[in-house]
Structure formats: C-alpha cells, structure tokens
Homo-oligomer: A and B are copies of this chain.
Amino acid sequence: METMTTEQKILKAADKIFTQKGYAATRTRDIAEEAGTNLALLNYYFGSKEKLFKNVVQGKLKMLLGAMGPALSDGQISLEEKISLITENYTNLLLENEELPIFILNELTVNRELFAKITQNTRQIAQPVLEKQLKERGFEISATDLIINVLSMTLFPFVAKPLITSSGLVKEEEFVNFVTDRKKKIIEWIIKITL
C-alpha cells in the first residue's frame, strides 16, 4: 500500500484539498502536511502551487467529461441507451466524488483565464450523431436541449446538495437513495420529454 512515490502522495493530497476548498483557500502547507511530506517538495516536484493545481484540474476535468464523451458520438448506441448510459455514469461517478462538479464549475467561473489554456485541448462535445438520431425518429427537441436536460437533472442535485439538504427538501441521510432512485426516473422523464 505504501508503494506511492512522494510525487504521487503530493498529487493525491493536492487533489483532496483543492477539491474540498478550492484554489484560493488552499494553503500549500496544508497539502504538504496532508501528503506527509515537506513543503519544499511541492515546489521541487511541481514548480508552483498553480502548476500543481492545473495538474489536479486536468485530471478532474477528464473525469467529468469522460463520463459523457464516448457515449454521445457513438452511432451504434440507441438514444435510450445513451441517456441511460450518461445518467448512470454520472450518478455513479458523483456518488464517489460529490464535490467534483461544483469544484470544476466554480473554478471555471472564477478563473476563466487559467482554464482557457486547459480547456482548449478539450474535445468539442460532438452532437451531429445525436442530432441525426433525433431527426430519424422524428423528435422535435434539439440535441443541445436534450444533453442539457440530461445533465441538468443528473448533475444538479449534486451541485446544489448543500442547498437541497439544508432547506429540508431532501435529508442528508436520504441523499444517496434520492439520487440513486432518480437514475431510473430521469430516463423515463427524458423519454417523455423527447417524444
């Protein structure tokens, strides 16, 4: 288990704290301590707080986009399966990484410049295939609206979790069940909308 290199330990610690508190509120000393190493090693291995952050963000962004990308552009997969795949993937991913979307979305908002460089290599979300599938079956909704709706219903509960729980809409203990139950419901809802 203790086969992690120091560099990896720092990256793991950085991942945890950056995701938890965001870039600005994170102290490099906290990362070093969490990693069980020295503060200087952070700069030794990663150069600066900002470079370390970019490293973390790149990974997180890949996780977030990776849960959607492949499914969408595959012409073999039916519409229903695509929706099912996306909600299933995201729900499972976010159950293991609850702060992931709010972290990415907030840093993306606060730090446009920093993200410009990172996201430029981000593959565009391909929708021509989806557009074609919708047209073939005579659906009126646009691919963009469909994607946004699926993402909205799936991701929003995680993004807004603190508000949802503290307002009493869903109790903290019920949250996992709530989003798990929604997986099936979302598919039905999207089908109803799309028809």
A48 at the interface (CB under 8 A from B): no
The complex places the Cα of A75 from the Cα of B177 at a distance, in Å, of 30
- Min CB gap A2→B, angstroms: 31
**Bitwise interface map of A from 183 to 195 toward B, beta carbon under 8 Å scored 1, else 0:** 0010001001101
Task: Give how many copies assemble into the complex.
Answer: 2
Number of A interface residues in the complex (CB < 8 A): 51
Cβ < 8 Å to B, chain A residues 119-158: 119, 122, 124-125, 127, 144-145, 147-149, 151-153, 155-157
A34 at the interface (CB under 8 A from B): no
Main secondary structure of the interface of A (DSSP, over half): helix
The interface-forming segment of A52-60, A77-85, A89-97, A107-115 is A107-115
Which residues on B sit within 8 Å (CB–CB) of A185?
145
Q: Is the CB of B160 within 8 A of A151?
A: yes
Q: Is the CB of B122 within 8 A of A182?
A: no
Cβ < 8 Å to B, chain A residues 22-55: 22-25
**Bitwise interface map of A from 100 to 112 toward B, beta carbon under 8 Å scored 1, else 0:** 0010111011101
Which residues on B sit within 8 Å (CB–CB) of A25?
23-24, 110
**Provided the pairs A153-B153, A159-B159 are in contact, do residues A182 and B106 lie with their beta carbons within 8 angstroms?**
no
